Amino acid sequence: MKGLTIIGSGSAVPNQVLSNQDLSSIVDTSDEWIESRTGMKERYVSSAQESLAQLAAKAAINAISMANLTPEDIDLIILATSTPDDLFGSACQVQNIIGAKRAVAFDLTAACSGFVFALVTASQFIRQGVYRNVLVIGADVLSRWVNWEDRTTCVLFADGAGAVVCQSHETKDNFLGFELCSDGTQNSSLNLAYMGTTHNLLENISVGSGSYQTINMKGKEVYRFAVEKVPEVIEKALHRSNLTIEDIDWLILHQANQRIIDSVATRLGLDKQKVISNISKYGNTSAASIPLALDEAIRQSRIKPGDIIAISGFGAGLTWGAAIFCWGGSN
């Protein structure tokens, strides 16, 4: 079995900034309500001309450059997204934009848990010795799927992309453990469902024809689920890593709500200084939120090579998961 190292990170956001103040001229809300309930101050949203693939490609190029590789060194691209430009997938478009000619590319969907699920998927290919350099991207443009008249959701979601480069290693293994979970019985708590009406082809044969709706979320249910399940899944991932919470240098949760982040840290008994949050500047960018926060902290030199990081994503599905890894090529 090969080991895995995470040797590069990158991120990107669209050009337009949307503040809480701006939102208060779109729906009946206020800066005070949004900040006190969620911790968000502003977020980035894409224009109609900015594609998911372009955003993901920018983050990818930054990560490949930090890893001191070229796009042609990449063997596999996994794009975690729920908002592809093309329902058939956007990973191949990213492959084309960055010129990763040798890479196999596919999309993976697990909503806001997508980056954690994709990183774990990458680790399996690397462990088995199938691929050497794997690019894992989390990218979403949820602004396309928000009902801009619904104040209970439109103030929360935003756009962005983050990426890491994983590399196989003969002796070092910096991917320490993980735990993934799904519960389809709670699917109706949060979804972006297809709605079709009957289109009769022949007298006795019909098909569905329709389109996707906008994001539908029962906020309180998702909140309760997150504060209960996220500490549990992190503890399981720590157990599988033979570590305890005291061994963790940094905790990076999916950036959905500052109150969820604070509550999980408290339940885990983790020092607040070890919790990374950038929700005030970016809002909830779904699959992008963890790699975006990771990349920012690495580039600010808060996270240093050798630091042990716990990440945890949670969201629609419902899905949730955690992974523990050591940043950088050495440990």
Q: Which of 16, 65, 147, 152 binds ligand ACO (CB under 6 A)?
A: 152
Among the candidate windows 148-156, 164-172, 204-212, 299-307, which touches ligand ACO by CB under 6 A? 148-156
Q: How far apart are CA 198 and CA 326, in angstroms?
A: 52
Of the candidates 254, 257, 278, 326, the residue annotated as catalytic is 254
> Is 326 known to be catalytic?
no
Should residue 38 be labelled a site residue for ligand ACO when binding is judged by CB under 6 A?
yes
Footprint of ligand ACO on 102-121 (CB under 6 A): 111-112
Q: How far apart are CA 48 and CA 231, in angstroms?
A: 38
> Is 166 known to be catalytic?
no
Q: How far apart are CA 255 and CA 16, in angstroms?
A: 19
- Closest to ligand ACO by CB, 7 or 111: 111
Of the candidates 20, 92, 112, 326, the residue annotated as catalytic is 112
Question: How far from 186 is each of 104, 243, 257, CA to CA, in Å?
Answer: 33, 31, 20
- Closest to ligand ACO by CB, 174 or 286: 286
Residue corresponding to tokens 């979403």: 140
Should residue 29 be labelled a site residue for ligand ACO when binding is judged by CB under 6 A?
yes
Give me the 62-101 binding string for ligand ACO, x by CB under 6 A, dash otherwise.
Answer: ----------------------------------------
Give me the 208-227 binding string for ligand ACO, x by CB under 6 A, dash otherwise.
Answer: -----------xx-xx--x-
Should residue 241 be labelled a site residue for ligand ACO when binding is judged by CB under 6 A?
no
- Closest to ligand ACO by CB, 4 or 154: 154
Q: Which of 12, 103, 126, 190 binds ligand ACO (CB under 6 A)?
A: 190
Should residue 321 be labelled a site residue for ligand ACO when binding is judged by CB under 6 A?
no
The answer to whether 307 and 276 have CB atoms below 8 angstroms apart is no
- Closest to ligand ACO by CB, 62 or 285: 285
Site residue total, ligand ACO (CB under 6 A): 23
DSSP alpha helices (H): ranges in 46-112? 52-66, 91-98
Among the candidate windows 33-41, 65-73, 121-129, 170-178, which touches ligand ACO by CB under 6 A? 33-41
Cα–Cα nearest to 104, from 122, 116, 88: 122
**How would you label 265-301 residue by residue, b for 16+ Cβ within 10 Å and e otherwise?**
beebebeeebbbbbbbbbbbbbbbbbbbbbbbbbeee
Cα–Cα nearest to 161, from 15, 288, 255: 288
Q: Where are the beta strands (DSSP E) in the chain?
A: 3-12, 16-19, 42-45, 76-80, 104-108, 133-141, 159-169, 175-182, 190-191, 194-202, 205-212, 216-217, 250-253, 275-276, 308-315, 319-326
Should residue 293 be labelled a site residue for ligand ACO when binding is judged by CB under 6 A?
no
308-315 and 250-253 strand pairing = parallel
Positions that interact with ligand ACO (CB under 6 A): 29, 33-34, 37-38, 111-112, 151-152, 155, 190, 219-220, 222-223, 226, 256-257, 260, 284, 286, 315-316
| Residues forming the active site | 112, 254, 284
